């Protein structure tokens, strides 16, 4: 049993007698925390010797390298060639590989996706660009009924090695039809793989793996992360799907966070450390497949868990991850697994209202403190 757990048991007993105040409890935790080992960080977060590039540059670099390596790879989407995509991620790619491999399409998401499925079945490796994740609702049949099912329904004779790039995330004041995080929809479908990279390192490694995969992969890139800078090795590397990354080690509570919420969780972990609480931050990297083992092992160690995701909380990613932790670590948990997702409302255009719908570090800290304190 950890020192913090011993303290918590004493606190609970004394609280029942009204003998110990919350300020005194936090002061004791802070004093105990000072003697602990410093947290370790993932190389995706902290690698002093690696070059630093942006999330956007990492995505472009991965695609360019794979296009140079394999002539079957091509990109198709609205404004991907001359404009370099709506978020300028692909600027210069058409100059490097030509208009036959970086293809500006008409405004027809259904047509783009259908073409991608057909091209993949017949031996190509398309990267289909859907500029906003909200617009993936227009490609449900092509992706869910065709791409995800073709390998199974052909008895393994056909494959669909296709990547669909799209976005998630609010905070851009883009209103309800351009701000949703819909990765849970596709994570629900057998036959699809879904990646939600948080750092430039993860973005490049997962993109390269997705392009080489024999299955259809949907990659959700948070719009607010494109200018996020981080360490990325210059040498060749890929990242496996279904393997989570411990972004920061800790002992008192496990925080599982996806995409941009990883940074929210890391900020919260810093604030919790000041209060004497050691938080472990885990990034799933992919929601399908899901690295259940890493989540469970961490929760067994810390005895408390919190899941943070920017998708809607109802029927979302937070529910699935919380459920597998509760199932696998049940006898180790000192408190119910908590989850924090986006508010279950259409994303408002008003900046003041929009900000209220998104999980924040302050709310993560408040929830984590309550869990650790047994409230």
Point out the residues that are catalytic: 178
- Residue 116, phi-psi category: left (phi > 0), alpha (psi -120 to 50), beta (remainder): alpha
CB 89 within 8 A of CB 60: yes
Q: What is the SS3 assignment for 125?
A: strand
Residue with the two structure tokens 């024999």: 214
Estimate to the nearest angstrom the gap between the alpha carbon of 110 and the chain centroid: 25
H-state helical runs in 228-316:
261-274, 292-302
Distances, alpha carbon 369 to alpha carbons 31, 300, 310, 366, in Å: 16, 18, 21, 5
**Tokens coding 46:** 């902290």
Distances, alpha carbon 355 to alpha carbons 69, 173, 236, 360, 364, in Å: 42, 9, 39, 9, 15
Q: What is the SS3 assignment for 243?
A: coil
**Tokens coding 258:** 């996806």
Q: What is the SS3 assignment for 103?
A: strand
CB neighbours of 101 closer than 8 A, spacing ≥ 6?
67, 73, 74, 75
ω into 205 cis (within 30 of 0): no
CA separation for the pair 129, 113 (Å, rounded): 9
CB 247 within 8 A of CB 256: no
């Amino acid at each position: 049993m950890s020192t913090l757990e011993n303290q918590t048991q004493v606190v609970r007993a004394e609280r029942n007698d009204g003998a110990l105040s919350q300020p005194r409890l936090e002061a004791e935790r802070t004093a105990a925390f000072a003697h602990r080992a410093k947290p370790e960080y993932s190389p995706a977060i902290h690698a002093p010797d690696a070059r630093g590039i942006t999330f956007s540059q990492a995505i472009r670099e991965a695609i360019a390298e794979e296009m140079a390596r394999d002539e079957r790879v091509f990109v198709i989407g609205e404004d991907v060639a001359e404009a370099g995509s709506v978020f300028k991620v692909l600027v210069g790619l058409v100059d490097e590989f030509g208009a036959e491999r970086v293809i500006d399409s008409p405004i027809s998401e259904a047509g783009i996706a259908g073409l991608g499925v057909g091209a993949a079945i017949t031996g190509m490796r398309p990267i289909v660009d859907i500029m906003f994740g909200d617009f993936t609702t227009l490609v449900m049949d092509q992706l869910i009924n065709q791409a995800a099912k073709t390998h199974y329904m052909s008895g393994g004779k056909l494959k669909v090695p296709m990547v669909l790039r799209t976005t998630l995330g609010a905070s851009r004041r883009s209103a309800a039809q351009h701000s949703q995080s819909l990765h849970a929809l596709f994570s629900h479908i057998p036959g699809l793989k879904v990646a939600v990279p948080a750092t430039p390192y993860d973005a490049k490694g997962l993109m390269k793996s997705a392009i080489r995969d024999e299955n259809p992969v949907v990659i959700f890139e948070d719009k607010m992360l494109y200018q996020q800078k981080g360490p990325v090795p210059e040498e060749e590397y890929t990242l496996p799907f279904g393997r989570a990354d411990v972004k920061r080690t800790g002992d008192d509570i496990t925080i599982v966070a996806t995409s941009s919420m990883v940074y929210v969780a890391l900020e919260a972990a810093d604030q919790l450390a000041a209060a004497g609480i050691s938080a472990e931050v885990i990034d799933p990297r992919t929601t399908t497949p899901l690295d259940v083992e890493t989540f469970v092992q961490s929760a067994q160690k810390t005895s408390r868990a919190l899941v943070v995701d920017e998708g809607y909380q109802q029927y979302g990613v937070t529910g699935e991850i919380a459920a597998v932790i509760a199932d696998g670590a049940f006898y180790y948990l000192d408190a119910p697994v908590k989850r924090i997702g986006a508010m279950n409302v259409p994303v408002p255009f008003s900046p003041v209202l929009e900000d209220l719908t998104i999980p924040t570090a302050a709310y993560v800290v408040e929830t984590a403190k309550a869990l650790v304190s047994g409230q």
